[in-house]
Amino acid sequence: MSGYDVVVIGAGLAGLRCATRLAEAGRDVVVLEADDSVGGRERTDVVEGFRLDRGFHVLNPAYPGVRRWVDVGALALRRFPVALGVRLEDGVARIAHPVRSPATVPGALASGLVRPADLLPLARWALPVLANARAVKRGPDRRLAEAWDRAGLRGPLRESVLEPFLAGVLADDRQESSDTFVRLLVRSFALGAPGVPAAGIGALPAQLADTARRAGAGIRLSHRVTATRRHGRGWRVEVDGADAIESRDVVVATGLTPGLDVPLPRARGLQTWWFATDERHNDDAALRVDGLRRGPIVHTAIVSNTAPTYAPRGQHLVEATVVLPSEATEADVRRQLTELWGTDARPWRLLRRDDIAAALPAQDPPLRLRRPVRLGDGRYVAGDHRDTASIQGALVSGQRAAEAVLQGRGQR
């Protein structure tokens, strides 16, 4: 039986950041991961030469935790346009960041999606978080739908643009999420330019794992923890098919995976369809939403237009995202893709469908930006469910859990 100062259970973003901080502080730490690679929900698989993330992911370099702990340059980030294509009856309108793309403003107004009467309600809702995020965090919180109603934000901008776009981001097509969280999220989009690593989103945890190993942390893959039990002044960590491990402290960083007696929030789910085509039907790299709301898809993108590295030469990769639960069939998805992209999607080859029931923790109001990382039984916990449902939240929660372990042993 081997022994360590700390066992971290789970090699997702939170667990890897936690292990790195502990190793940098001189702790003898090992990460136990049930899967055969690091990443948790941030995974990339190669299927028929295509890079398929486990669901549609983007990395926002504007997040403070990303700026502090991630070498974004090394990831060769391929950035999406800060814009949306919105399908309407008479074509596709483009809604873009008005400061970065001022030339698109007249077209947005002409489309009818952004009416002059909508600008004041939009400003009433969005500008406070851009001016003073701390004040918004301290202020009252409510359901997003209620907040939009109170601001007077109605009409096509809400129904055809904001609702479908945010449904795919939040896995919430009823606008039940925290208004505070959504406004903070919109602020991060406004300040950053999200994208995907050239090698897929899995390159992010791979980099964090390399950093953890260089700091001195051990990482054991295919080590599924079945139980943690008190053992003297520490813990006995039992592993399926392997010897038990003793440690002074345990950090549970398994995300939204049930088990190990860790209280978890309600999860929200997303379904992602990945299609391949050998014809370049459209050059648009922006996400596209259905302003007519005629189908299950909340957003779609030709990912290879942004990141050519996601597809073999001469091939193109299309994603379509649906909120779970859903009864959508492949025929439903292909029909709507045909309408969204203006080309027959029936010949496209289905590479994979990802059903991720626990894509992210629900962010219900009132938003709690910091949940305890100390479990009442002496263990610690990390994951975006302890902070915010984001890469930022996962990284910060890992750092907080590590600091709590160090403080608990009389060190900082």
Q: Is residue 176 part of a domain?
A: no
Is the pLDDT score of 285 beyond 90? Answer: yes
Distance, CA of 87 to CA of 67 (rounded, Å)? 35
**pLDDT, tens digit, 9 for 90 and up, residues 18-65:** 999 999 999 999 999 999 999 999 999 999 999 999 999 999 999 999
CB 367 within 8 A of CB 180: yes
CB 43 within 8 A of CB 241: no
Distance, CA of 391 to CA of 67 (rounded, Å)? 12
**pLDDT, tens digit, 9 for 90 and up, residues 334-346:** 999 999 999 999 9
Q: Is residue 22 part of a domain?
A: yes
Q: Is residue 37 part of a domain?
A: yes
Q: Is residue 111 part of a domain?
A: no
Instruction: Identify the residue whose tokens are 């406070």.
Output: 128
**Which of 83, 393, 44, 318 is closest to 198 using CA atoms?**
44
**Which of 113, 117, 96, 118 is closest to 105 using CA atoms?**
96
**pLDDT, tens digit, 9 for 90 and up, residues 354-375:** 999 999 999 999 999 999 999 9
Query: What pLDDT score was predicted for residue 378?
Result: 85
DSSP output for 143-183: BHHHHHHHHT--SHIIIIIIHHHHHHHHT-SS--SBHHHHH
Is the pLDDT score of 182 beyond 70? Answer: yes
CB 193 within 8 A of CB 177: no
**pLDDT, tens digit, 9 for 90 and up, residues 117-156:** 898 999 999 999 999 999 999 999 999 999 999 999 999 9
Residue 215 belongs to domain spanning: 2-43+202-265+364-408
Alpha-carbon distances, residue 274 vs 207, 282, 349 (angstroms): 25, 16, 9
Query: What pLDDT score was predicted for residue 103?
Result: 80
Instruction: Identify the residue whose tokens are 């939040």.
Output: 170
Q: Is residue 52 part of a domain?
A: no
pLDDT band of residue 286 (cuts 50, 70, 90) is very high
Q: Is residue 301 part of a domain?
A: no
Q: Is residue 252 part of a domain?
A: yes
Is the pLDDT score of 101 beyond 90? Answer: no
Query: What pLDDT score was predicted for residue 228?
Result: 94
Residue 127, SS3? helix
- The CATH number of the domain holding residue 207 is 3.50.50.60
Q: Is residue 290 part of a domain?
A: no
**pLDDT, tens digit, 9 for 90 and up, residues 234-281:** 999 999 999 999 999 999 999 777 667 787 889 999 999 999 999 998
pTM of the entire predicted model? 0.95
Instruction: Identify the residue whose tokens are 């009856």.
Output: 89
Q: 89 is written with which tokens?
A: 């009856």
Per the structure, how many domains does the chain have?
Answer: 1
Q: What's the mean per-residue pLDDT of the chain?
A: 94
